[in-house]
Chain A
Amino acid sequence: MAVMGFAAAINSALDVALGSDPDVFLLGEDISDPGGGVYNITKGLSTKYGEHRVRDTPISESAIIGAATGAALAGKRPVAEIMIMDFLGVCLDQLANHAAKLRYMTGGQAHVPLVVRMSAGAGVQFGAQHSELLEAWLVHTPGLKVVMPSTPADAKGLLLSAIFDDDPVVFIEPTLLYFGAAKEEVPDGDVRVPLGRAHIAREGSTITLISYGLHVHTCLAAVAQLSESDIDAEVIDLRSLVPLDIDTVLASVSKTRRAVVVHEAVGRAGFGAELSSLIHEALFDELAGPVRRVTGADTPVPYAKPLETAFIPTADTVAGAVRQMCS
Chain B
Amino acid sequence: MDDGDADGVNPGKVAVKQMAEPSVDDLTTMYEIQARIVATDEQFRQRIGRGQATLIYYSPRGQESISAALGVCLRPQDYLVTTYRGLHDQIAKGIPLRELVAEYLGRTTGTCGGKGGPMHVTHAASGVMVTTGIVGGGLPIANGLGLAAVLDDSEQVTAVCFGDGATNTGAFHEAMNLAAVWDLPVLFVCQNNQYGEHTPIARSMRVPTVAERAAAYGIASARVDGNDAVAMWHAIGAATDRAREGGGPTLIDALTYRFHGHILGEDLAYQPAEERAAAVSADPFPAYRARLISQYGITETVLDDIDRRIAAEVDDAFRHALASPEPDGSSLYTDVVAEVTV
**Pair from one complex:** yes
Smallest distance from the beta carbon of B94 to chain A beta carbons, Å?
Answer: 15
Determine if A107 and B113 form an interchain contact, defined as CB atoms under 8 angstroms apart. yes
Interface centre among A25, A69, A71 (most CB of B within 10 A): A71
Instruction: State the interface size on chain A (CB cutoff 8 A).
Output: 45
Which of the segments B10-18, B174-182, B205-213, B252-260 contacts the partner chain?
B174-182
A59's nearest neighbour on chain B, judged by CB, is B174
Determine if A67 and B140 form an interchain contact, defined as CB atoms under 8 angstroms apart. yes
Measured CA separation A110–B173 after assembly (Å): 26
Chain A residues lying within 8 Å of B137, measured Cβ to Cβ, are: 66, 93-94, 97-98
Interface centre among B111, B137, B158 (most CB of A within 10 A): B137
A52's nearest neighbour on chain B, judged by CB, is B151
Chain B residues lying within 8 Å of A310, measured Cβ to Cβ, are: none
Chain B residues lying within 8 Å of A70, measured Cβ to Cβ, are: 81, 129-130, 140-148, 158
Determine if A63 and B143 form an interchain contact, defined as CB atoms under 8 angstroms apart. yes
A62 touches B (CB below 8 Å): yes
Determine if B177 and A69 form an interchain contact, defined as CB atoms under 8 angstroms apart. no
| Binary interface encoding of chain A residues 57-68 relative to chain B, with 1 for a CB under 8 A from any of its CBs, else 0 | 110101101111
Cβ-defined partner of B171 (8 Å) among A74, A93, A165: A93
Interface residues of B in 257-307 (CB under 8 A from A): none
Interface residues of B in 4-47 (CB under 8 A from A): none
Which of the segments B49-57, B218-226, B332-340 contacts the partner chain?
B332-340
Determine if B122 and A106 form an interchain contact, defined as CB atoms under 8 angstroms apart. yes
Smallest distance from the beta carbon of B82 to chain A beta carbons, Å?
Answer: 14
Interface residues of B in 108-145 (CB under 8 A from A): 110-116, 120, 122-124, 129-130, 132-134, 137, 139-145
Q: Is the interface of B mostly helix, strand, loop or mixed?
A: mixed
Determine if A62 and B170 form an interchain contact, defined as CB atoms under 8 angstroms apart. yes
Known contacts A104-B335, A104-B336, A105-B112; is-contact A98 B151 (Cβ 8 Å): no
Cβ-defined partner of A69 (8 Å) among B113, B116, B140: B140
B158's nearest neighbour on chain A, judged by CB, is A70
Instruction: State the interface size on chain B (CB cutoff 8 A).
Output: 47
A111 touches B (CB below 8 Å): yes
Cβ-defined partner of B178 (8 Å) among A58, A103, A104, A110: A58
Smallest distance from the beta carbon of B90 to chain A beta carbons, Å?
Answer: 13
Determine if A73 and B174 form an interchain contact, defined as CB atoms under 8 angstroms apart. no
Chain A residues lying within 8 Å of B132, measured Cβ to Cβ, are: 97-98
Determine if B143 and A66 form an interchain contact, defined as CB atoms under 8 angstroms apart. yes
B195 touches A (CB below 8 Å): no
A145 touches B (CB below 8 Å): yes
Interface residues of A in 33-74 (CB under 8 A from B): 52-53, 55, 57-58, 60, 62-63, 65-74
Measured CA separation A326–B132 after assembly (Å): 53
A108 touches B (CB below 8 Å): yes
Measured CA separation A76–B146 after assembly (Å): 12
Smallest distance from the beta carbon of B302 to chain A beta carbons, Å?
Answer: 36
Chain A residues lying within 8 Å of B338, measured Cβ to Cβ, are: 103, 111, 165-167
Smallest distance from the beta carbon of B89 to chain A beta carbons, Å?
Answer: 16
Query: Given contacts A58-B174, A97-B132, A167-B337, could you give 17 more A-B pairs where the C-beta distance is less than 8 Å?
Result: A60-B174, A62-B175, A63-B174, A63-B175, A66-B137, A66-B143, A68-B144, A70-B129, A74-B129, A76-B147, A90-B170, A98-B130, A104-B115, A107-B114, A109-B111, A111-B338, A243-B340
A-B interface, 3 closest residue pairs, ranked by CB to CB distance from nearest? A66-B140, A70-B144, A74-B148
